[in-house]
Structure 1
C-alpha cells in the first residue's frame, strides 16, 4: 500500500508559517516600530497553525500516535490561548502581564506536552517506566533551579527580588529542561531515531533558550516587548508543526508489537543524576551574606530530595521485580513454565539427603524431531506446551515434573509415594495418547520412559539419572511408547554399549570397516547387473559385526556421516574395478537419513564418483521410506539434482513404512525395492502376499520405477516374483554377500532355474 500523500494545504501552511517567523525576525532585529505587536501576532499565528497541523496529522494515525499528536495539538492551542491573553492584557496596560491566568495556560501546555512525550512510540509502555522517565525529567528540572539562580540572580540585590513573579520565573526554563530531559530519555539509542522527535527536541531547546533569556532579561530590567529574543517562541512552534511531516519509522511499530525494550546506554541511566552535583555547589554559592538560603532554592532542594527519594524507591522496587524475574528465569523453563534442569537437580539432591525413597522417571518424546522438521519449530513449541500440561495433570501431587531441555522431561517421586513409579509411568503414557481427531494431524509423538529407584548401588544423584537414562534407551529399543525400569542387566548392557561406541570411533581411522557385495540379478537372464554394498565391521575383539549391531549407534552419535562417506568412496572404488570387466554394472549403497540433510551430499557423491572416473549412472543411493518421507523440501531438491545428474535413487524396504501414493509423487525415485517380508510369504501360497507384490509391481510400472524383489531365497519365491513380472531380484537364492574378489567371479550368467 502506497503511503498517503501529504495535502498541498499542509505544505502551503508550513511555508506561510516559516515566512511569518522570518518576517518577525527581520522586523525585531531591525528594530522597526510596533515590534511588540508583531511579536505577539506572530506567536499567536504560528502556534495556531501548529495546532491545526498536529490535529490534522492526528486524524491520519492509529493510536498511540493519535494520542501523541492530539496532545501536541492541545499544547499548541494552549500556547496560542496563553499568548492571546498575554497580548490582550499587555495592550490593556499591564506591562508584562505575569498574571495567574497566563501562567496557568502556559503551565497547562507544559502538562499536555509532557503527556504527549510519554505517549510517543518511543516512550516506555508500562506505567512504571513512564513514571520513572517523568521523575528523571523532574529531577533534572529541580536540580537546575539553584544553578539558574546563581547564573541569573546572583548579583541582584534582595530588594530587586521582592516580586515573587520575577523570582518564580525560573520555573519556566526548569519545566522546559524537564521536558527536554524526558525527550532525550525516550529517544536515546539504541532505539531507532524518529526524526519528528529530533525536530521537537530542537523546538524544546529553542523554547528553553527563549525562556531562560527572557527570565534573565526581566531580572535585570533590560527586557521590553518586541525584543529579538521573542522570535524564539514562534520558531519553537514552527518546529513543532514541522515535526508532523515525519512518519514514525517501521521499527518503532515492530518494537511495539514484540514488547521488547532495548537496553539504554550508560549515560541514559546517569542522566537525571548528573546535574545534582552542580545543584549542591550552586546552593552553597547562592547563600546570602546573612547565611540564609533564598526561599525558592530551599523549596526547590526540598522538592528535589523528595523526588530523588521517590525515584530511588521506584528503582528499588524495579530491582526487586528484576530479581524475582531472574529467579524465575534461572529456575523455570520459559516455554512450558515447568521447573528446569537446575531446579530438578536441586530438588533431587535434597530428596536424597532426606534418606527417603526416591525414584526418577526420565521421559524422551518419540518422533519429536520429525514434528520440527515437517511443521516448523513454532508447531513444535506449541506441542511441547500441550504435552507439558497433560503430563502435569497426569502427575498431580505424586511427583514433580520438570523439563530438562529439548524434548526431554523428568519426574521426581520422593517421600511417601501414593503410587509406584511404574503406575505413574502408565498414567503418563496414557496422557500422551492422541485425543480423538489428533491421530490425523501427525504431530503428536509418544514417549519412552526410563525409571530408576535410588539404592545402594548409587553414590550420587548423577548415578540415579544415568540409570534412568539407561532405562529410557531400553524403552526406545523396545518399540517406543513404553517404559522400562533399570536393572543390573540393563546397566551392564549400557556399559557394553558405551564400550562399543568408543570402539566405533576408532573403526574408521584404524581401517576396521569392510565392504561386502550382494548380487542383484536380471530375472529374465540371470545375469548379475548390479550389487548392493553392505557394510561390515571387523571388530578386533568381537569379530565381524553386521550393520544392525553398530549402525544404530553410529546414527545416535553422529559417526554415521563419516561412515557413509567411507562407504560411498569404497563402493565407487569397487565399482570402478568391476566395470573394467563389465562396463554396464552398477553398485547401490545405503545412505542414512542424517546424510540426506547434509548440504554437501551432492559434493560427496560427485567427488567420490569423479575420484575413480566412474560415471554417475553407475551409482544408486538406497534410502528408507521413513528417511524419504520425513525429508524437507531441501532434501527432495537435493535428491532431484542427483537424479538429474544420473544417480539412481532407490526406495529400500518398500511396504514397511508409509507406502503412500502421495509421497511417491514427491520423491524423485528411479527404483523400488520390495521388502523381503512380503517375498518370504510367497512360499506359503499366501494369496495376500502374492497380490501385494503384484500390486507393488504394477504401481512401480505406473510411476516408471524399476522393481527389485528383496530376500529371494527359494526356487518358489524366484518363480513367483518372475511370474509377477519383477525385473530384478536379490537374495541368497542368487548369492550371499561376498568380498569384491569373489563378486568378480559371478560375472557369468547365473542359472536361474537351479
Structure 2
C-alpha cells in the first residue's frame, strides 16, 4: 500500500470520493424535492434516484475495501455486494414496473433484495467488533433470528394483519412480512456485535442509523400497500436511497487503531444486561400476540404457527450454544483460578489445595520452597519483559527437573514451591540438588548477567505441624537459612532453625519499639589527622540497649531493620542525634565534623533532604559540619533521581563520603557522576598492610592517588596497629580511623587530641 493510499484509508475520501458523495447527496435531495412536490414522473425519479445512489455506494465500498487493512476487506467487500444487489434489484424492479404497470412483487425481485439483506448481515459478522470464533458468530446470528421471528407475531397483530386481507398475491403477502423480519435480524446483529467497554467504531453507528431507517421504510411500505394507500413515487421512497447514502458515507471513516489482524486477547468488560437479554425480550410479546391472533376464530394463522415452531428451534439451538459457552467459560475460569498465567504452572491457590488434600490423606509430605536470588536486579537492569522471559525459561527447567517426583507451582513473583507426597521415591534433598543443577547458567547466560541463582528451603510434615501453613512457614525458615548460607544452596528446617526464626521474629517486634522507647544510643569513633593526631571528625555508630539482651551491635539488628523498612526511622533518629551531639563538641573543636551512615532505602526517599536540613537547623549545626556516608552498593543501585538528590545536598554544603570504597563493582565510573567529597578505604585492605601484602599496599596507594586526582579527601578505615598506621602514613593517606586512635565512645570524649 502506498503512502497516499494509507493516508486515504486513515483519513477519509479522496477528492473523487468527496465529489461522488456530493453528487449522491444532490440526487437524494432532488428526489426528495420532486416527490414532495408531486411533480410528473415521480415514480421513475424515485426508481432512478435509488438506482444511482445504490450504484455510487457500491463503488465507494469496493474502493475502500482495497485501501483498508486486510481484516476489514471482507467487511467492506460484503457491503459492496449488498449495495450491488440493491442496485441490481432496483433496476429489475424499475424495468418490470415500467413494462408491467403494476408493483412488481415477483419472487426474483424479492430474492435479490433478501440476498442483499443477508450479505449485509454477513458483513456485520466480519466487522472488527464481531466475535472471533465460529461459535460466537453463530450465537450472534441466532440472536438476530430469534428477535426477528419473535417480532413476526407482534407485527402481525399490530401492523401486518391487514396484509392477509389485501388483494395481493400470496408471494406479495409473504414478502411483505419477510423484508421487515430480515431487517430486524440485521439490526439486532449490529447491536450485538458492537463491543461493550470499548469505543464504537464510527461506521457502525452510521450503519445502525441506515438499518433503522430501512426497518421503518419496509414496515411503512408494507402497511401502505396493505391499506391500498401506496403508489409509486410516494414520499416514503426517499428512505431507501437515504439508507444507501449512509452506507456510502460510512466509508469515509478510518479503520480502528487496533485493527492489525491479530486476535484481541485482552479482557473485555462484561456486556450490559440489555444485550444479554436482547434475544429473549420480544419472546414474551410473541406469545401474547399468538394468543391475540387466535381470536375470534380460535385458530392461529398458518404463518404464525410456522414462525413459532422456527422460534422454538432457534431458542433451543441458542441455549445449546450458551450451555457450550458456559462450559468453556467454566474451564477458562478454572485455568485462571488455578494456573499461573505466565509460566503455566499451578499457582499458589492450587498448590495450597493439593497440599491440604495430601495432609488430609495422611501421606508423608514434604515441601520445597524456592526463591530466586538476585531476580530483582534483573528486573531493574533489563526490564520486566526480560524478567518474564527469564521466569518462563527457568520454570520450564524446574518442571523438567522435578519430572514426576513432585508437583511444582509458582507462588508469585520469583517464588516457587514443590510438593512431594506419597512414597517419595526421590528424597527431597536429592530433588533440591536436581533443581539447583537445572538452574545453573550456561556460559552465554553467565556472560549476559541475567541468570540468578536460587535458595531452597525444605520442610517435612511432622507432629509439630498443625496445618499446611505451619509446614510452609518452616520451609520459608529453611529457605532464608539457605540465603544466609551464601545462596545457591538448600537447607532443611530443623528445631534449631525454627527456634532461631522465632527469636528473629521477636527481635524484629522489639526493634519496632526501640526508637519510641529510647532504647537506641549513639557512640562516636574519631577520625584523626595522621600527621598531628588531631581529631577532625567522628563517625556516629548506633547501639541498641535491648532490655533483655543487653547492648547489641549494629551488625546484629541493622540488617533486620533494612529488611523490614525500620531502617528509615532509625536513620532519621541517628541524623538528628548526631547533629545535636556535634553541635556540643564543636565548642571544643570548632572544625570537627560528624559523619552519619545512610542506608540505601533512605537514600531513595525524596524526603531525605528535608530530614537532613531539619536536623542541622534544629541543632544549630552548619551543614558543612555534616558528612553523609554511603556504601558503594547503595550508590550502584541509585537512579538519576538519587544522583540529583545528592547534588542538592552538596549545594547545601553537606559532604558526601563513599564508605567501604573498593569493594563495589563500579567505583571508577561512579566517581565521575557522584558529587562525593571523601573516599573511605575499606578496612579489608588496611588490615593486610602489616602482613606485607603487596597487593593491599598497592590498592591503598592507588586509592589515595585516585582521591588526589579527583580532589577528594581520603580516610583509611580499620587502622588497629602501629605498623598499619606507619604504612598508611607512608603512602600519604591524610586521615585514619580505627581502634588505634579510639574506640566508639560517648560524645563527651570527642574533640580530644589523640596524638
Q: Which bin holds the TM-score, normalised by the shorter protein? A: over 0.9
Say which is worse superposed, 430-439 or 504-513, in terms of deviation.
Answer: 430-439
TM-fit CA distance, 1:116: 1.6
Contact 1:679 1:717 in 2 (8 A): yes
Alignment CA distance shift 1:491-1:584 (3 Å): same
User: Is 1:82 the counterpart of 2:65 in the alignment?
Assistant: no
Mapped to 1, the partners of 2:226 and 2:166 lie a distance apart of 12
Q: In structure 1, what is the equivalent of residue 381 of structure 2?
A: 374
TM-fit CA distance, 1:153: 2.9
Q: In structure 2, what is the equivalent of residue 15 of structure 1?
A: 22
User: Is 1:335 the counterpart of 2:342 in the alignment?
Assistant: yes
The one of 332, 347, 352 equivalent to 1:325 is: 332
Mapped to 1, the partners of 2:495 and 2:200 lie a distance apart of 66
Write the deviation string for residues 350-401 of structure 1: whole angstroms up to 9, x where unpaired: 2223333221111111122222222222222222212211111111111111
Contact 1:217 1:223 in 2 (8 A): yes
The one of 189, 198, 206 equivalent to 2:213 is: 206
Mapped to 2, the partners of 1:484 and 1:59 lie a distance apart of 66
The one of 153, 171, 174 equivalent to 1:167 is: 174
TM-fit CA distance, 1:501: 1.2
Write the deviation string for residues 479-528 of structure 1: whole angstroms up to 9, x where unpaired: 11111111121111112112111111110110000111111122233322
Q: In structure 2, what is the equivalent of residue 455 of structure 1?
A: 462
Contact 1:288 1:294 in 2 (8 A): no
Q: In structure 2, what is the equivalent of residue 235 of structure 1?
A: 242
TM-fit CA distance, 1:5: 6.5
How is 1:265-284 mapped onto 2 (pairs within 5 angstroms)?
265-284=272-291
Q: In structure 2, what is the equivalent of residue 111 of structure 1?
A: 118
TM-fit CA distance, 1:243: 1.4
User: Is 1:632 the counterpart of 2:639 in the alignment?
Assistant: yes
Q: In structure 2, what is the equivalent of residue 136 of structure 1?
A: 143
TM-score computed with the length of structure 1 as normaliser: 0.95
The one of 688, 695, 698 equivalent to 2:702 is: 695
Say which is worse superposed, 275-284 or 120-129, in terms of deviation.
Answer: 120-129
Q: In structure 1, what is the equivalent of residue 42 of structure 2?
A: 35
The one of 305, 315, 319 equivalent to 1:298 is: 305
Alignment CA distance shift 1:616-1:295 (3 Å): farther
Contact 1:192 1:251 in 2 (8 A): no
User: Is 1:549 the counterpart of 2:549 in the alignment?
Assistant: no
Mapped to 1, the partners of 2:226 and 2:37 lie a distance apart of 24
Contact 1:51 1:76 in 2 (8 A): yes
User: Is 1:399 the counterpart of 2:411 in the alignment?
Assistant: no
User: Is 1:151 the counterpart of 2:182 in the alignment?
Assistant: no
Mapped to 2, the partners of 1:724 and 1:43 lie a distance apart of 102
User: Is 1:598 the counterpart of 2:605 in the alignment?
Assistant: yes
TM-fit CA distance, 1:59: 2.2
Q: In structure 1, what is the equivalent of residue 527 of structure 2?
A: 520
Say which is worse superposed, 388-397 or 157-166, in terms of deviation.
Answer: 157-166
Alignment CA distance shift 1:66-1:579 (3 Å): farther
Contact 1:10 1:53 in 2 (8 A): yes
User: Is 1:614 the counterpart of 2:621 in the alignment?
Assistant: yes
For 1:398, what is the secondary structure of its paired residue? coil
Mapped to 2, the partners of 1:307 and 1:607 lie a distance apart of 77
RMSD: 2.1
Write the deviation string for residues 445-469 of structure 1: whole angstroms up to 9, x where unpaired: 1111111122232232222222211
Mapped to 1, the partners of 2:578 and 2:77 lie a distance apart of 76
Mapped to 2, the partners of 1:417 and 1:441 lie a distance apart of 37
Mapped to 1, the partners of 2:708 and 2:350 lie a distance apart of 59
Mapped to 2, the partners of 1:403 and 1:661 lie a distance apart of 40
Q: In structure 1, what is the equivalent of residue 750 of structure 2?
A: 743
Q: In structure 2, what is the equivalent of residue 725 of structure 1?
A: 732
Mapped to 2, the partners of 1:663 and 1:353 lie a distance apart of 57
For structure 2, which runs of at least 5 residues remain unmatched after alignment? none
Contact 2:407 2:418 in 1 (8 A): yes
Alignment CA distance shift 1:256-1:156 (3 Å): closer
Mapped to 2, the partners of 1:590 and 1:285 lie a distance apart of 90
User: Is 1:195 the counterpart of 2:202 in the alignment?
Assistant: yes
Say which is worse superposed, 577-586 or 228-237, in terms of deviation.
Answer: 577-586
Q: In structure 2, what is the equivalent of residue 60 of structure 1?
A: 67
Contact 1:374 1:630 in 2 (8 A): no
The one of 368, 387, 390 equivalent to 1:383 is: 390
TM-fit CA distance, 1:156: 5.8
Alignment CA distance shift 1:310-1:257 (3 Å): closer
Mapped to 1, the partners of 2:397 and 2:669 lie a distance apart of 33
The one of 445, 451, 459 equivalent to 1:444 is: 451
TM-fit CA distance, 1:158: 4.9
TM-score computed with the length of structure 2 as normaliser: 0.95
Say which is worse superposed, 695-704 or 138-147, in terms of deviation.
Answer: 695-704
Mapped to 1, the partners of 2:412 and 2:642 lie a distance apart of 27
User: Is 1:582 the counterpart of 2:622 in the alignment?
Assistant: no
Mapped to 1, the partners of 2:73 and 2:713 lie a distance apart of 69
The one of 478, 488, 505 equivalent to 2:495 is: 488
TM-fit CA distance, 1:258: 5.2
Mapped to 1, the partners of 2:84 and 2:617 lie a distance apart of 81
The aligned length equals: 748
TM-fit CA distance, 1:334: 1.7
Say which is worse superposed, 290-299 or 155-164, in terms of deviation.
Answer: 155-164
TM-fit CA distance, 1:672: 1.9
How is 1:221-232 mapped onto 2 (pairs within 5 angstroms)?
221-232=228-239
TM-fit CA distance, 1:251: 6.2
TM-fit CA distance, 1:677: 0.7
Q: In structure 1, what is the equivalent of residue 513 of structure 2?
A: 506
